[in-house]
Structure 1
C-alpha cells in the first residue's frame, strides 16, 4: 500500500511546468510600463530626427595646422583641410594643400586660419590686401638683418644734417625677400646684413610716395612697433 494512504493523506499531484507562452505573457505584463516608455522614447527620437534640418553644405578649405611664423616655407605638415559652411567660407580659399606647399608665409598664421593666397609670398611678392610693396634701404645696413618677416615697423626719415626725423610709414609689414645665404647661393627668406639686399615693406598706397621721396633725400631708420 502507498505510504501516503497509510498516513491518511492523499498523494501529491504531479508537478507540471507552466507553458513558455504563459511565462512570457506574465513577464511582459510585469514590465509593461518599462516597455511602453522604451517605445515612446524611440518614437520621440525618430520624430526629432525627422524634424531636424539637414546640415548646411560645406566646402573644403586649407588651413594652418599649427602656428606658422612669417617667412616659413610651408610643408604638408603645416597645413590641413577643414570643412567650412559655404556661407562663411572665404572667397578665393585654397582647397588643395598641394597648391600652397612650397610657398612662404608672408605674415604669421595662427592655427586654423585659412591659408589664402594673399597671405603667402610668391615670386611676385605681394603684401596683404590693401597694401603695396615698397623697397627700402636703411641707413644702417645691419637693420636689414635684424628685421624678420612679419615684424611691424615705423619708418623714420632724418636729414643728413641731423635734423628732426619724421614718420613716413606707420606699422609697415616686413615681407620675406629672396636672398643669398652664402657662397653656395642657397635661396632663403628674410632680411640680410648685406647692404645690397633691401627690405621689402608692405605699406599703404598713400605712404608709398612719401617713402620713396624720403629714400632719395633722407636717412631712413626703423622702429619696431606692436
Structure 2
C-alpha cells in the first residue's frame, strides 16, 4: 500500500469562510438581536424629569413634632409637587403637622405648625374659648368641629363656623402668659382653630354675647 498523502492545511481565509457558513444561522441571529436592541435603545424616551421634595417617611400624627427620622427627600415629577413644598429636612424638623398625614406626603409650610400657628391655605387662625373647658381639653389637633353660638337667654343656636380645624397649641415658654392674656395652664386657655376669614369675624362677634360650643364632625 502506498503511504498516505500528507494533509495540507487550508488557508486561513478559506477556513474562516467555512466557519461562517457553518454558523451562518447563529451569526445572523446575533446580528438581528444587536440591531433590535440598538433600535429599541434609540427609540426609548428619556427618563422623566424629577425634582427633590421633602416627604414623610411614615405616617405622622397631628401635634407631634417631627424628627429627622420622620422625613426624607424624594424625587417626584414637577407637576406632582405642591406649591411651596419644602426641600430640606431642617425646614420641617421640630414642627408639628396640623392634621394627621400619610407617609410619602409632600410637606408644605401650611401643613406644619411651628412657633407661629398657621392653618391650611385660605384660612386664618382664631383663638376661641369654649363654654366647657373640659371639652376644649379633649379636642385633639387635627379634629374638625362645628362651632355653635348658644345665647344665654335661650333660643336656637347659630353655627358660626363649620369644620373648623383644631390646631396644635404653640409650645409654652413657662412664662405664665398665654394667648389673649390667658395664664398658661389656666382652665380657660383658648383653642386655636383654622377657619375662613368671614367665620373668624362671626366668631369674634359671637364671643362677646354667646357661649361657644364645639361639635366634633367627620
Q: TM-score range by the shorter chain?
A: 0.7 to 0.9
1:59 matched residue in structure 2: 51
Give the one of 210, 213, 218 matched to 1:218.
Answer: 210
Number of equivalenced pairs? 209
Cα deviation for residue 89 of structure 1 reads 2.6
State the SS of the aligned residue for 1:133.
strand
> What do you get for the CA RMSD once the two structures are aligned?
2.9
Runs of 4+ in 1 over 4 A off after TM superposition: 10-16, 21-28
Cα distance in 2 for partners of 1:180, 1:158 equals: 31
Gaps spanning 5+ residues in structure 1: where?
1-9, 186-191
Matched residue, 1:188: none
Task: Show the counterpart of 1:150.
Answer: 142
Q: Deviations over 1:136-172 (max 9, x none)?
A: 1111001121111000111111112332212111000
Corresponding position: 1:140 with 2:132: yes
Alpha-carbon deviation of 1:196? 3.2
Q: Which stretch shifts more, 26-35 or 100-109?
A: 26-35
The alignment status of 1:128 with 2:120, answered yes or no, reads: yes
Matched, 1:199 2:199: no
Say which one has the larger Rg.
1
Q: 2:106 is matched with which residue: 108, 114, 120?
A: 114
Q: Does 2:91 correspond to 1:99?
A: yes
Q: CA deviation at 1:12?
A: 9.5
CA shift for structure 1 position 194: 4.3
Please give the per-residue CA displacement for 1:37-65, whole angstroms capped at 9, x wherever unaligned: 22212222112212223223321000111
User: Following TM superposition, by how much is the alpha carbon of 1:68 offset from its aligned partner in structure 2, in angstroms?
Assistant: 0.7
User: Structure 1 length normalisation: TM-score?
Assistant: 0.80
Q: TM-score normalized by structure 2?
A: 0.83
Gaps of 5+ in 2: 177-183
Match of 1:77, SS?
helix
Contact 2:147 2:213 in 1 (8 A): yes
